[in-house]
Amino acid sequence: MNKLKYQMLIQWSEEDDCFLVGFPDFPGQRWRTHGDTYELAVANGIEALESLIIAYEAVGDPLPDPTVETNGQKQNQINEIYHAIGEFVVEFEHICFAVQTSSKFILQKNGLNNQNIAQLFPYKETAGHLKEKFKDLICLSGFFDEEELGLIKNILERFQKLIEKRNEIIHGTWFIGSNHSEINNYVTAERLKIHKYKGAFITKAFTHKLDDFRKLTEEARILSSIFLIISIPLIVDNKSLSIKNLLDINDGLISLKEGISVERPYTDNS
């Protein structure tokens, strides 16, 4: 059939335990059919759309106009998604760099006399291993009091959540440029994940908005600055200076105090 130019919305429903299929261009067709798998939902959707068009023609009703976007607008929105994903990935690596930089200052402060500390960083690590060894380094260094250790624990927990998000993004199967909304915009990306459910492997789709990636990027920027801040009292060798004086705690969320900024050290002249 040459008239299948309409949007087909496919969305996973936890309540119905299946993929729902709808046609936003048709009044009252928010959800028309379903499928236990993504592939079956697509097949059922095509069949349902053909039946829907035949039904309109059988009673002489005019078909609704399909929603169409210009290629330029679509491409601009797709580019925004790619840019937001790439920006987050870059900012995430700045966190790892900040953790490594702070680790270096702590090791230098300790003079590498503590052999247990010296063995913590024998080679380049993944982000998860880097986080765990940084945690051990903080505990073994003896430079931080109990309150400061609590703050650092909170920061490391936030880093762990971001590591998990980063892994989802890097190792996910993404479909960018497909339209899955009633207002026909492309500032969303769909990630497919295969998992085992009731003895069978099924595909689940997760939708991520442009703002979701931007929020992750902002969190990465905050954390990279905080990790650099942690080593400042050691660098300046000021016993009266504490990371508690450099960080704000608001409703359990740790951030830099107003007026404090961190310039990233892009080069290492040591």
Each residue's pLDDT tens digit, 48-83: 999 999 999 999 999 888 876 656 677 788 889 999
Mean pLDDT over residues 212-231, rounded?
91
Q: For 132-143, how does the pLDDT look when each residue is reduced to its tens digit (9 = 90+)?
A: 988 988 888 888
Where is average pLDDT lowest: 27-31, 72-76, 148-152, 227-231? 72-76
> The tokens 């295969």 sit on which residue?
194
Tokens of 194: 């295969």
Of 198 and 226, more confident: 226
> The tokens 């496919």 sit on which residue?
10
The residues facing 62 across adjacent strands are none
- Under DSSP, the state recorded for 244 is G
Instruction: Please check the confidence at residue 7 and state whether its pLDDT lies above 60.
Output: yes
Q: For 121-134, how does the pLDDT look when each residue is reduced to its tens digit (9 = 90+)?
A: 545 578 998 899 88
C-alpha distances out from residue 91 to 8, 76, 97, 143, 162, Å: 35, 22, 10, 28, 11
* Confidence at residue 91, expressed as pLDDT on a 0 to 100 scale: 95
* Confidence at residue 147, expressed as pLDDT on a 0 to 100 scale: 86
* Confidence at residue 108, expressed as pLDDT on a 0 to 100 scale: 75
d(CA 104, CA 265): 13
- Under DSSP, the state recorded for 186 is -
CB 169 within 8 A of CB 91: no
Nearest alpha-carbon partner for 262 in 220, 232, 219, 217: 232
